[in-house]
A and B are shown apart, each in its own frame.
Chain A
Amino acid sequence: MRAGPGWLARPPPRRRRGATAGGAAVWLLAPGGLLTLTVIVVPFVVALVMSLLDLDQYTFRQWLSAPFVGAGNYVEAVGRTSLPHAIWVSGSAAVIATLLALPLGVAAALTTHLPFRGRSLVRSLYLIPYVLPAFVVGTIWRIILQPDGVANQGLATLGIAGGLWLNGPKSYLALIVVQAWSGWPLVYLLALAGLQGIDDSLHEAAALDGAQWRAKLRHVILPLLRPPVALAAIISLLHMVNSFTLPFVLFGVPSPHDVEVLPVLTYVESFQNLRFGLSAAMAVISLVLILVPLLVYLRTVRLDEPEATA
């Protein structure tokens, strides 16, 4: 979390061609920096401190005098809880669900690019999965995926025995499908904004070249959509890794082994076992494990660099 210091302790920006005076830059960043410091950075530091304490229901009331256990919670989280398993489940499910959501979201943006009658409505309808409260989405999918629910009735008419979706190996698939279903509108919104930002002259140029739709899509449109879609992929991944309500309502607590996801695990430690320190340590570990691949990924896609042409 270097955001705070980075924000505040910035050296005066060097002037470069096309850049304005440095003074303006600093104060334009100040409101965001100050807010981040108070509502994210400081609380995060406090949470870090909590993760070093033996904080549970017995010591919570006077938490500052809770025994300091150093890395004790971290050792316990890695060695004696199912945290490694949960990180694997959450991470892999989030990656797969994001990979499912990407084509859906981009396709949705492409279909609503050109005006047609009812386009506004279609565009708005695409938003609904993202707008429904997570616990309602969880409730309805739980009902759909019941052993004798609509999903299995549908499969039965196709001659397939659906079986168990809310527990056992197939619950992992259920988790992915429901996450992807409620997550793809995020990709769609970003892809649509990106698409609308493409200069019409590029379309014209492609038309003059006589490019067919496939070639145009591949060589002109999709490359231009890459930054917003990459951003959408990262954000959707992070949302899914941290998504609590959906798996909580869908599978209940305690989680079936195959869908024991990270947020539910930290929830159980915190709200059922009342091991607040341990829970904080788990969250910090998972945060680090998510952040490292993320930062590596950011280097490779160079999301934070303007295109070479800029």
Chain B
Amino acid sequence: MNSVLRLLPRPLQIGLTVFLLTIVGAPVGYVFLASVNTDLAVAAGEFWPERVSVGNYVRIWSTVPLGRGLANSLLVAGTVAVTCAAVAVFSAYVLVRHRFRGRRTVLRALLGMQSIPGTLLLLPVFVLFATIGSSLGVPTIGTRWSLVVTYLTFGLPFSTWIMVTYLRELPGELIEAARVDGAGSWQILLRVVIPLSWPGLVVAAIFAFLLGWNDVLFASVMTDVDTRTAAVVLQVFGAAQEGGAIPPYGQMMAAALVCAAPVVALYLAFQRYIVSGLTAGGVK
């Protein structure tokens, strides 16, 4: 089986893996070395720390409310990921399986929306939320849900596209077979399409998750002290007064790695869904 599935000869596979890991590893390794170094040495560009200290990994938790930030980020990005993937699979299913006027316009507009810079929308979005909040008497600015709604919207076009490219490759016979069995549209979606689209769904969810995880622009104005996300909280490590003490570089690097860890861990956990493609769905 393995030899059938093999894509690259073994030496090339090993060579490429080592090459790619080096490309990733060299700068990331530097980030790690800097995280156990002193701020002065990092600023001076020192590569190997003279004295290794893990103190930065302890200090980051009291310098900023990192724990709360991570919890907020997980909550916001997690909700966005799940909702986004769900809405995306519905939309994509319609866009792939149905022919209607304006369909292509919708598809292209989805990509077009990706090119709108966030900075252009920041102020209007903020004002819109503030208006909705004050006219309906519900809290908006400073709440997690306003952030979820924002990221969900920004994540949808891309997630939908991922699902479109994915669903298009699904064999139509399966759906036909289900229909012949008397399954309705809704049942086909839940019983056939979704179980077959796990790899695509996971990737769509990952991108939506990362959007919420990495954003600073919207989170910095739409959150308050209690709802700050990790990405915003991290910015404090870069804060420095002009001509004053140098910023806590070591802590900055340590915190960046700590914040990357949950994402890497989540990916590790969700990988089993993308390990096996269509075979798992019983296509054969």
Residues of A at the B interface (CB closer than 8 Å) are 1-3, 6-7, 9-14, 16, 18-22, 24-25, 28-29, 31-32, 35-36, 38-40, 42-44, 46-47, 50, 104, 107-108, 110-115, 120-137, 139-141, 143-144, 146, 148-150, 181, 186, 189-190, 192-201, 203-204, 207, 213, 216-217, 221, 224, 227-228, 231, 234-235, 238, 241-242, 244-245, 263, 266-267, 270, 276, 280, 283-284, 286-287, 290-291, 294-295, 298, 303-304, 306-307, 310
Contacts and interface: CB of A to CB of B under 8 A. Distances in A.
A189 B175 CA distance: 27
A193 B117 contact: no
B112 A1 contact: yes
A193 B268 contact: no
Most B Cβ at <10 Å: residue of A128, A192, A203: A128
B119 A283 contact: yes
Contacts of B152: 35
B185 A21 contact: yes
B161 A231 contact: yes
15 contacts: A1-B112, A12-B100, A29-B91, A31-B87, A35-B152, A43-B128, A46-B128, A111-B13, A129-B28, A130-B210, A143-B43, A199-B283, A207-B3, A266-B119, A287-B116
Contact of B268 (A21, A111, A120, A298): A120
Nearest to A60: B123
Nearest to A142: B45
B210 A266 contact: no
A287 B91 CA distance: 25
B165 A227 contact: yes
Sort A-B residue pairs by CB-CB distance and give the 5 closest, nearest first. Answer: A43-B124, A13-B100, A3-B109, A196-B277, A39-B153
Interface residues of B, number: 121
B157 to A, nearest CB: 8
A141 B27 contact: yes
Nearest to A113: B7
B162 A111 contact: no
Given A6-B109, A124-B268, A197-B169, 10 more contacts: A16-B99, A25-B100, A46-B124, A111-B20, A115-B275, A128-B264, A133-B231, A143-B42, A189-B203, A190-B203
Given A32-B156, A127-B263, A190-B162, A44 B268 contact: no
A164 to B, nearest CB: 15
A111 B249 contact: no
Nearest to A226: B165
Given A198-B277, A227-B165, A181 B23 contact: yes
Contacts of A267: 119
A112 to B, nearest CB: 8
Contacts of A135: 216, 234-235, 238
B116 A136 contact: no
B203 A107 contact: no
Q: Give the most central of B28, B105, B119: most A CB within 10 Å.
A: B119
Contact of B17 (A19, A122, A284, A291): A122
A204 B5 CA distance: 8
B162 A231 contact: yes
B70 interface: no
A32 B87 CA distance: 7
B260 interface: yes
B173 to A, nearest CB: 10
A221 B8 CA distance: 11
B94 interface: yes
B213 to A, nearest CB: 8
B253 interface: yes
Given A114-B5, A298-B111, A126 B16 contact: no
Nearest to B264: A124
A31 B235 CA distance: 33
A150 B104 CA distance: 49
Interface in B231-284: 231, 234-235, 238, 249, 252-253, 256-257, 259-260, 263-264, 267-268, 271, 274-279, 283-284
Contacts of B95: 29
Contact of B120 (A234, A238, A284, A303): A284
B20 A234 contact: no
Contacts of B34: 140, 143
Nearest to A125: B24
Nearest to A153: B47
A227 B17 CA distance: 24
A39 B154 contact: yes
Interface in B91-126: 91, 93-102, 104-121, 123-125
Nearest to A112: B17
A199 B279 CA distance: 7
Nearest to A137: B27
Given A114-B2, A221-B7, A307-B168, A133 B23 contact: no
Contact of A131 (B99, B100, B210): B210
B79 interface: no
Interface string B170-187: 011001100100001110
B5 A128 contact: no
Contact of A189 (B24, B111, B206): B206
